[in-house]
Amino acid sequence: MKVTRHRDKIIEGLREWFRVHKEGPTLEELCVELGMQTRQKATLQRWLQTMRGIDVEWEDNAARSLRLLASDPTVEPELQISVPETLRYLATGLAQWESQERIKQRSDIIPQALRIGMSRMYLTSLLQGDETAPSNLPEFFDWAKNPIVEWKPAAEIKHLSPDVTLIEDELLSDFAQQWQVTGGDVELQVQEKILQDVVEHCRVHQLEEAYRAYRKLIIERPVLSYSQYRRLLSSTQLRPLREFLLKTYINLVDLAEENSYHLCSRCKYVMRRHQYKTYSCRNITCEKLSAQLHLPPLPPIPKDDAENWKVLTPGVHRYGTIPGIWEIQLAETLTKLGIRVTLWPEIDEFDLLVEFSKKIRWAIDVKDWSYLDEERLEKVQYRTDMTETFVVFPSEREEVLRIKVERRQIEPELGGVRLMLMSEIISQAKQILEKKNNA
């Protein structure tokens, strides 16, 4: 019997349905799950007929009897633990361990990153039926000297050399040094690495539109219902980045356990609960702006519906959503003035390409910093193919950053890159438009 080209989409939709529901869906409900119009149920029924007895089965004239035959419908692929993330934890933990040894700290204190990495590694091996994962510290140090590819789950990492190890000659290997993350919150920064992985993947495969869709998604929709999430996984634009989306969003109930989940009025992410049933955004800027702008509260997600929602990992929210809000806000403001604006051109070479004409083009990087980091500013490249290259800060940061004063000292060292506030950029754009209109 011929199986239609829609088979994978239907199986995926049914797996998701059975993850939440005990009974099978009606045709109308399955249409909604698959992102189809309910008037297409006759078409869906024809597709199901080609799969009957192979992938699905049902009882004639019995409501909600549709079931999957192909595999256990309670198992969803995203439950697998990311192997690249696990290796980043291990590399970071080993670097921290080596640092402890170097400064002669107590070596019996296992760094948090190493503990997380070993736990994830062991659990991944259990899930995949692999018996080679070390279960204690001495076993791990012996394992780290062997090629990583000998650990079966590592097969998901493409182009991994068979000679790569985490430890070489009793020292941290080059691979481990490249894969470690640095900073105060290792867990957030490991999660941030997914953003870098997406950029690299999209550049290799020239997926500019898919990249732009991904960035807008994590900025504008940090919390998604399962039905929305599943439709996005199979959408034309985002399908090339499906494996990254599976790592970008987690189950809401895995983020926190609450009686109700309150969302920030500005960034729309899940807020933290404090004593006396008060809530605040995980980002202090959101808290201040929500109060200043009198943003209305968003409806909370009740506990009994929480299993039907997905949410960004905290690291992606911190490093992708929060700065991205400013980028989209500036792009929308300039677009409303009648200026052509492209977000994340050349797959994130910079944040905004602003084009007034063929002769006047700006490259803008938007920075939402709590302090001026001159070392990071010096890494911003002046674009010789543009009229101006700007690093732009939210005007709300002026009180802390003092851009108008500090740039006199900093700009001469930046090779033509200029520091501006958003309000100044918008004002300068209006002046250029006015001159064009009067010419």
* pLDDT score recorded for residue 208: 96
Assessment of whether the complete model's pTM goes beyond 0.75 = no
Predicted pLDDT at 370: 74
Q: What is 37-69 written as a DSSP string? A: -GGGHHHHHHHHHHHBTTTEE--TT-TT--EE-
Q: What is the pLDDT of residue 170?
A: 78
Question: 251: helix, coil or strand?
Answer: strand
The pLDDT score that the predictor gives to residue 400 is: 81
The rounded distance, in Å, linking the Cα atoms of 317 and 293 is 21
Helices (H) and strands (E) in the chain, counts: 20, 16
Q: What string of DSSP letters covers 388-413?
A: EEEEEE-GGGHHHH-HHHHHHHHGGG
| Per-residue pLDDT of the chain in tens (439 residues, 90 and over written 9) | 334 457 778 888 888 888 777 788 988 888 888 888 888 888 888 888 877 777 788 888 888 889 887 544 333 444 467 788 888 888 888 888 877 765 555 556 788 888 888 888 888 887 777 667 787 888 888 889 988 888 888 877 766 777 788 888 777 887 787 777 766 566 666 777 889 899 999 999 999 999 999 999 999 999 999 888 988 988 889 989 998 998 899 999 988 888 899 999 999 999 988 877 789 898 888 988 999 999 999 999 999 999 899 999 988 998 899 999 999 999 999 999 999 999 999 999 999 999 999 999 999 999 988 778 788 899 899 999 999 999 999 999 898 888 999 999 999 999 999 999 999 999 999 999 999 888 7
pLDDT at 187: 66
Task: Give the model's pLDDT for residue 9.
Answer: 82
DSSP for 13-44 reads HHHHHHHH-SSPPPHHHHHHHTT--GGGHHHH
Q: What pLDDT is recorded for position 131?
A: 66
**Burial grade of 206 (CB within 10 A; 0-12, 13-18, 19 or more):** exposed
DSSP track, 126-144: HHTT---S--SHHHHHHHT
Pairwise CA distance, residues 120 & 116, whole Å: 6
Q: What is the pLDDT of residue 72?
A: 42
Q: Which residue has the tokens 């290796």?
A: 87
The pLDDT assigned to 350 comes to: 96
Check residue 80 and give its pLDDT. Answer: 60
Q: Write the DSSP assignment of 144-212 as a string of letters.
A: TTS-GGGSGGGGGSTT--TT--SEETTEE-HHHHHH---SS-HHHHHHHHHHHHHHHHHHHHT-HHHHH
What residues form DSSP beta bridges with 52? Answer: 56
> Do 242 and 325 touch, CB atoms closer than 8 A?
no
C-alpha torsion angle, residues 215, 216, 222, 228 (rounded to 10): -110
